[in-house]
Amino acid sequence: MAVETEEVLLVRVQQENFSVDEEIDRVRSRSTRIGGLNIFLGTARDRSKGRDVSSMTFEHYEGMAQRKLREIRERALKDFDVIEVLILHRYGPIEIGENIVLIVVGAEHRADAFKACRWCIDELKKITPIWKSEHTPDGEVWVEEHP
């Protein structure tokens, strides 16, 4: 039962902020075989496509977003030589500088951790039904894509 609970915590879409340190510890505590962790942390920036941004709001498709993130974690565990993967994404209003998305990958060696982490964030941006609106001096702008 405890293992199942822990699995659920490794993929989350949540409104509240998260502690990067706690999430790193969650991954490293999964196995003493982990020799390296790679982390991607996406944060809210105050400029986008030449416009000032004062804050932003993320909307997600409840259920489908979680499914897609679980799918990404499972594929990363299968396709890369890594030990554990954690994926978190926030929704709702987010202030400039706050955390938005976190990927933590634990592996025996750094090369696999880097590769898997890069793949996870790229895949997340491609297939996860999450939308961002930026609040700018010109009003609210729905963002279709960013690099």
Partner 1 sequence: MSTSSVATIKLFGMLKTLVPGGELSLDFPQGCKVRDFIEMLRPRWPEVAELVVQKKVLVSVNQEIAHWDTEISNTDEIALLPPFAGGSLGKV
Contacts to partner 1 by CB under 8 A: 58-59, 61, 63-64, 67, 124-133, 142-147
In whole angstroms, give the CA distance from residue 69 to residue 46: 26
> Which residue lies nearer to partner 1 by CB, 88 or 107?
88
The structure tokens 């700018």 sit at: 136
H-helix or E-strand containing 52?
strand 51-52
Nearest-approach distance from CB 61 to partner 1, in angstroms: 6
Nearest-approach distance from CB 55 to partner 1, in angstroms: 15
Nearest-approach distance from CB 38 to partner 1, in angstroms: 19
Identify the CA nearest to 95 among candidates 67, 56, 68: 56
In whole angstroms, give the CA distance from residue 96 to residue 12: 21
In whole angstroms, give the CA distance from residue 110 to residue 93: 34
> Which residue lies nearer to partner 1 by CB, 58 or 80?
58
Nearest-approach distance from CB 17 to partner 1, in angstroms: 18
> Which residue lies nearer to partner 1 by CB, 108 or 123?
123
> Which residue lies nearer to partner 1 by CB, 81 or 131?
131
The per-residue DSSP string of 114-128 comes to HHHHHHHHHHHHHH-
